[in-house]
Structure 1
């Protein structure tokens, strides 16, 4: 099993939205490195749901990958801000996963996560935060066991 961090602004889509819906496609990712991470995800992988743009930002819960290698439907929708005119149904350019809600947590703020993640991890390096990132297993296990880094 691998561990991932999925970022979303809570006013756009929050852990509570995922809880209400039960599961959702993680659509709209338009960064090639983040897309490649989505394509590496496997069934059962765990994902930390990160609220970016929050005050403070941080991990707000846990979800699990329940479907993989899904062509992102927003790339085909001309009314979507994520429309890609170069993508076709025969040759999609963007793939995603479906995740299912597991738990909402009291927010683990970025300030605390800095003590938990290696200093070179993209989450704690300003300017390097992708919407999808791998999480080292030793960090993930610490977060799951204690729901924090204290």
Structure 2
């Protein structure tokens, strides 16, 4: 299993809307590295849902329910999208400030490549972020 962070600005697509929808496709990605990450996703992989720009916090867990297929928002064949379903709303959001303050997460892609919208996580990073969300 692989682990990811997917980022969305809350005013464009918030976690709460995702919960209502029950499933969504992650389209509109126009960065090659982020696209490659989408292509690497497999059904059942887990992704942390991060509110970017406003909030700057991880708020939920999603899972891949359909692997990469052509992005319908583009006429160019190199762009893909992936379908996700919500798994869990985190009991406590994990803020960017808390991530930056954690010495175990200093090399996380979210900090190293902050503008990337789809980021790979190591299993231990995913576990650490979940632990932060479930503890005080």
Q: TM-score if structure 1 supplies the norm length?
A: 0.82
Q: TM-score if structure 2 supplies the norm length?
A: 0.89
Matched pairs, number: 134
Cα deviation 1:46-88 (Å, max 9, x = unaligned): 000000011x311010100000121110003xxxxxxxxxx2x
Aligned to 2:126: 140
Structure whose residues are more often strand by fraction: 2
What is the DSSP-based 3-state SS (H/G/I as helix, E as strand, rest coil) of the residue aligned with 1:98?
strand
Aligned to 1:7: 7
Aligned to 1:102: 87
Shift of 1:38: 0.3
Partner Cα separation in structure 2 for residue 149 and residue 8 of structure 1? 24
Superposition CA RMSD, Å: 1.8
Partner Cα separation in structure 1 for residue 135 and residue 37 of structure 2? 24
Partner Cα separation in structure 1 for residue 108 and residue 128 of structure 2? 16
Query: Rg larger in 1 or in 2?
Result: 1
Gaps of 5+ in 2: none
